[in-house]
Amino acid sequence: MNLLSAAILPLRLHHPDGSTPVIVGEGALSSVLPELEDWLARRAAFLVTTPRVHALHGDRLEVLCRAAAKWVILEVEEGEGAKTVSTAERLWNEMLDAGGKRDSRVIALGGGSVGDLAGFAAGCFLRGIEFVQIPTTLLAQVDAAIGGKTGVDLPGGKNTVGLFHHPWMVVGDTAVLSTLPREELRSGLVEVIKMAALLDPDLFGLVEEELDLLLEGDAAALGPVVAAAAAAKIAVVERDPTEKGERRLLNFGHTLGHAIESACGYAGLRHGEAVGYGILFALRLARRRGLISQVAARIHHLIRRLELPRLPELSAEGLMAGMARDKKARESGLVWVLPRSLGEGWMTDGIPEHEVRGELADFLRDPLRRPV
């Protein structure tokens, strides 16, 4: 590895298939271009990206385009619409037609949806070829690009087809976040706050201090936050690579968040914004189970400072049905991830349905009210 500046942190994720360098910080991409050039030399490279991200940041990869024997740009739709079996099939056909082989390379340049799709396409093509994640959203830099989970959606549910396929490298360059709309930064910050609240109190304090700069996409302020959040995610994934236990802590706010997204038809509210409301609700359940009010108020206040868009009118019964359908519902009941204190989380499937229903009806009357 070449010499890295102080703003760039080289992390590493150890997993059952080996280990993946995770290079984060402002300027991370230019710092690893020589390694990526070697990785691509004399091989066909397939760049999976969206027209928008390619127009904004594609020129950063020009030197890689020259290093590869063949450089094929595979553009896909923006957002969740890209994560379909038919898009993956199109990519496989285009890769095959362009002479893709077992030693060909895939590069994902985009948000979590591009990374999930490209990782899935690379993981299945000729039984798996190497790929690199260059995440361009905050959410993808701290969460989606790290941990090897890839996949696409079926009409009946999100992320229902997929596989674990770890990238060869993850490059989270915070410089690319300067073009990200504020709403996308907010959505990613919810995931940062989620990890900080359950895993890293220092990170929580940093986000409290720097929130205004973070919401402006300030690359220097985002650097340490992305690094700490990525490190927190790496630590959890290393302890639980296949999401059988502790990794499920990352679902804080997601039990209700997913049901809200689904009830809104995946439109209107972004994923992170729905999870933000899910966190506010989980704080109420946590308060009833011993979370002290100062900690609940701190988490609540930080989420409120994000100024989430208004929650649409939703019925408690509809959301209860949505949660029951969610793949996280186990036979024994819904699994809730709750904070026990700042930096410590736990999971329970033992909250009675009538309690959840009653709390939810109250929550929907005034979702932003501080938990008592």
Tell the smallest beta-carbon distance from residue 148 to ligand NAD (Å): 8
Residues 235-274 that bind ligand NAD (CB under 6 A): 271
String of contacts with ligand NAD for each residue 7-46, x by CB under 6 A: ----------------------------------------
| Binding-residue total with ligand NAD (CB under 6 A) | 30
- Among 105, 165, 194, 258, the active-site one is 258
Is 243 an active-site residue?
yes
Is 127 an active-site residue?
yes
- Applying CB under 6 A, does 144 fall inside the site for ligand NAD? yes
- Among 127, 310, 330, 354, the active-site one is 127
Q: Report the number of secondary-structure helices (H) and strands (E) in the chain.
A: 14, 11
Residue with smaller CB distance to ligand NAD, 117 or 351: 117
Residue 27 and residue 174: Cα distance in Å, rounded? 7
- Applying CB under 6 A, does 217 fall inside the site for ligand NAD? no
Is 301 an active-site residue?
no
Is 251 an active-site residue?
yes
Residue with smaller CB distance to ligand NAD, 56 or 329: 56
Residue 249 and residue 138: Cα distance in Å, rounded? 19
Which contacts (CB < 8 Å, 24+ apart) does range 235-242 have? 235/199, 236/199, 237/13, 237/15, 237/146, 237/147, 237/148, 238/13, 238/14, 238/15, 241/15, 241/16, 241/147, 241/148, 241/164, 242/16, 242/164
- Among 57, 149, 270, 284, the active-site one is 149
DSSP string, 53-110: HHHHHGGGGHHHHHHBSEEEEEE--SGGGG-BHHHHHHHHHHHHHTT--TT-EEEEEE
In degrees to the nearest 10, what's the CA dihedral of 164, 167, 172, 178?
-80
Choices 141-149, 315-323, 339-347, 351-359; region in contact with ligand NAD by CB under 6 A? 141-149
The residue from 49, 50, 133, 251 that contacts ligand NAD (CB under 6 A) is: 50
Question: 312-323 burial, b for 16+ CB within 10 Å, e for fewer?
Answer: eebebeebbebb
Choices 51-59, 200-208, 241-249, 316-324; region in contact with ligand NAD by CB under 6 A? 51-59
The residue from 21, 58, 79, 309 that contacts ligand NAD (CB under 6 A) is: 79
Is 328 an active-site residue?
no
Tell the smallest beta-carbon distance from residue 20 to ligand NAD (Å): 13
- Among 83, 186, 194, 254, the active-site one is 254
- Applying CB under 6 A, does 149 fall inside the site for ligand NAD? yes
Order of all β-strands in the sheet with 169-173? 8-15, 18-25, 169-173, 131-135, 105-110, 44-49, 70-75
- Applying CB under 6 A, does 114 fall inside the site for ligand NAD? yes
Q: Look at the block and give the residue holding tokens 């361009």.
A: 136
- Applying CB under 6 A, does 137 fall inside the site for ligand NAD? yes
- Applying CB under 6 A, does 199 fall inside the site for ligand NAD? no
Is 2 an active-site residue?
no
For the chain, the 3-state helix, strand and coil shares in percent, each to the nearest 5, are: 55, 20, 25
- Applying CB under 6 A, does 140 fall inside the site for ligand NAD? yes
Q: Could you tell me if 320 and 337 are in contact, meaning their C-beta atoms sit under 8 angstroms apart?
A: no
Tell the smallest beta-carbon distance from residue 244 to ligand NAD (Å): 15
- Applying CB under 6 A, does 112 fall inside the site for ligand NAD? yes
Residue with smaller CB distance to ligand NAD, 194 or 284: 194
Backbone φ, ψ for residue 343 (5° rounding): 95, 0
Binding residues vs ligand NAD (CB under 6 A):
50, 52-53, 56, 78-80, 83, 110-114, 116, 136-137, 139-140, 143-144, 147, 149, 158-159, 176, 179-180, 184, 187, 271
